[in-house]
Structure 1
Amino acid sequence: MRNSLGREQIGQRLSVRSLTGGRGPSGGPEATDTIGVLVAVDADSVVLERRDGHRIRLITDRIVAARTVPLRPRRRQPATAIDAEELTRITSRGWPAVVSESLGDWELRVAGGFTGRANSAAVHGDPGVPFPEAAARVIDFAVRHEIAPLAQVVVASTWERRFAEAGWEPIGGSRPGAIVQVADIGEVEHDPAIDFSSTADDTWLRHYGRVEDPSLARTVLEGPDRVAFATLDDVAIARVVVTGLWAGLSAVEVDPRHRRRGLARRLMRGCLAWAAERGADKAYLQTMQDNAPALALYAPLGFTTHHAYVYLRPPA
């Protein structure tokens, strides 16, 4: 099968059978099937991205069969069915840090201070060490990389309680924290007026308006393989990323002089169509609980709140 999978198949969803190196029940070679979108091919291996965005590298010489399967499965769970910690993993993959270290299942992230999502510890699963050591490792990582130590924690989770017991406090004072909203992607049509680019050019970044270091911002924003930067009428922008079967929407901005024309909603629908063409059947976005205009924009598209999260900092 060395030459059966090539770069021309990148983006296709495949079922790949490969040998594990062990023996099966009948005494013959044991094989396993892996299903995912092909995202990389080199001389010795291929990389498949699974539904949750997790990537698996398969050795080419061990592959014995491969076939194409539909990008969007016939049977699917609703977007609301996903566990909050699993969704946190997906959102983190869609907004990758410049430097990332694993602490068990936790992810320690730094990106030169560009956004809290890329400069905090994503707390999900088991850190693999006792909690006091895990919390100390979060602080040590931040100190080494010269950022403020922060933990991104799902509200009402066990980890929020453990951090609170250790004296960690929310940032932002009395302002409500952030929420993650989700929706199933229904029938959405491509909008020919929307321009999609694989890179964030200077004009796009200028509309985004939260950038101090363009090079650093591009490293984060352009990090995923399946990402696009949408522009409509040169006055409205959005970013869309596909991670497994999930589309992530962010950076929806409209020039103040051109608001109330429906441009933001057109952008969002166009981004969902772009993502659906690449296999996504669910979508997420992140916003603040008190951002009423944004929530009013998202609701007609089927977005509902899945969970809230908060950034916690250690005691002084």
Structure 2
Amino acid sequence: MIPSESPGAGGALAETVRGLQERAARALPAEQVEHADGWWLRHDSGSSWWVASVLPHGPDGLDGPDTSTAAELARRVARAEEFYARHGGTARFQITPAACPAGLDGLLAGRGYDRAHPVSLQAAAVADVPGQRGGGPLRVRIEDRPGDAWFAVWHAVHGGGAGPAARGLLDRVAGPSAYARVLDGDETVAVGRAVADSGWAGVFAMATVPAARGRGAGARVLGALADWAGAHGAARLYLQVERDNPAALRLYARAGFRELCTYHYRTAGAKP
């Protein structure tokens, strides 16, 4: 059973969400990672910005109202800010109400951090995701490494991600990985990837070229990755999708994904 964001599910939901976000951090491994009081401090010089954010997980004891609690939370934030200053990066925190200290969002707002990028964390049982569908001109190929055609689609759709930094990030992934390509004839028109990790598989890097949209290419990618995940011991899938992407949200809903929780980011800005 996958916990949902509902009354009474708090403890189980928090444990699930923390576990999934840490799996995602291993599937998107930053160049530099430090663990401080259970918080993941991550810096990456060249790939996607969300790779280089703080995961404020771990034992906290920071939910109480007393001053010692507030001071400890401020100390941890200052430690993170020092980490990013040392690496020449911008301090950014991933804020998940279900899984991080209750006072963190307000503290960062008071320090001038900007709020942006609302994200939905979703999950599905592998058995509920429609598998690969036969027939039609579209074919799916699964590979264990991304080739130039895979990167070309990602770059065409998202405008980046084909350079040395992105390739280096994928080289650092330690878990079993699958790179899916949907082909129309000899042309790759959609891609995605998955990483298996302790009973779950994360879905990442979904992209379909505009000319192939509305033809089921994205669903074919998800079906192929679900089949691969099941064959690699994963009973459940998870993914992260921005809330302002309605086409992707519809695709994932049709494939059986349901929202576990939402989160957002706080990025250092001008001090008040």
TM-score, length-scaled by structure 1:
0.68
Q: Which residue in the other structure is 1:211 paired with? A: 160
CA offsets, 1:125-145, max 9 Å, x none? 236992122101111111111
Distance 1:111 1:206 in 2: 22
1:227 aligns with 2:168: no
Q: Which residue in the other structure is 1:183 paired with? A: 124
Q: Per the alignment, do residues 163 and 123 of structure 1 end up closer, same or farther by CA in structure 2, a change over 3 Å counting?
A: same
Q: Per the alignment, do residues 157 and 285 of structure 1 end up closer, same or farther by CA in structure 2, a change over 3 Å counting?
A: closer
Q: Per the alignment, do residues 104 and 213 of structure 1 end up closer, same or farther by CA in structure 2, a change over 3 Å counting?
A: farther
Q: Per the alignment, do residues 159 and 127 of structure 1 end up closer, same or farther by CA in structure 2, a change over 3 Å counting?
A: closer
Amino acid at match of 2:94: Q
Deviation at 1:259, TM superposition (A): 1.3
Q: Which residue in the other structure is 2:86 paired with? A: 144
Distance 2:214 2:105 in 1: 42
**Structure with bigger gyration radius:** 1
Paired residues in the alignment total 237
2:59 to 126, 142, 151: 126
Distance 2:161 2:221 in 1: 25
Q: Quick check: 2:118–2:263 contact (8 Å CA) kept in 1? A: yes
Distance 1:276 1:158 in 2: 31
CA RMSD of aligned residues (A): 2.4
Determine which structure has the larger strand proportion and give its number: 1
Determine which structure has the larger helix proportion and give its number: 2
Distance 2:49 2:204 in 1: 14
Amino acid at match of 1:229: Y
Q: Per the alignment, do residues 88 and 131 of structure 1 end up closer, same or farther by CA in structure 2, a change over 3 Å counting?
A: same
Amino acid at match of 1:253: A
Q: Quick check: 1:207–1:255 contact (8 Å CA) kept in 2? A: yes
CA offsets, 1:19-73, max 9 Å, x none? xxxxxxxxxxxxxxxxxxxxxxxxxxxxxxxxxxxxxxxxxxxxxxxxxxxxxxx
1:301 aligns with 2:242: no
Q: Which residue in the other structure is 1:253 paired with? A: 207
Q: Quick check: 2:154–2:160 contact (8 Å CA) kept in 1? A: yes
Q: Which residue in the other structure is 2:35 paired with? A: 102
Distance 1:258 1:312 in 2: 35
1:161 aligns with 2:103: yes
Amino acid at match of 1:281: A
Q: Which residue in the other structure is 2:9 paired with? A: none
Deviation at 1:302, TM superposition (A): 1.2
TM-score, length-scaled by structure 2:
0.79
Distance 1:276 1:191 in 2: 16
Identity of aligned residues (%): 26
Distance 2:122 2:162 in 1: 29
Amino acid at match of 2:74: P
Distance 1:212 1:262 in 2: 24
Deviation at 1:225, TM superposition (A): 2.5
Distance 2:100 2:223 in 1: 36
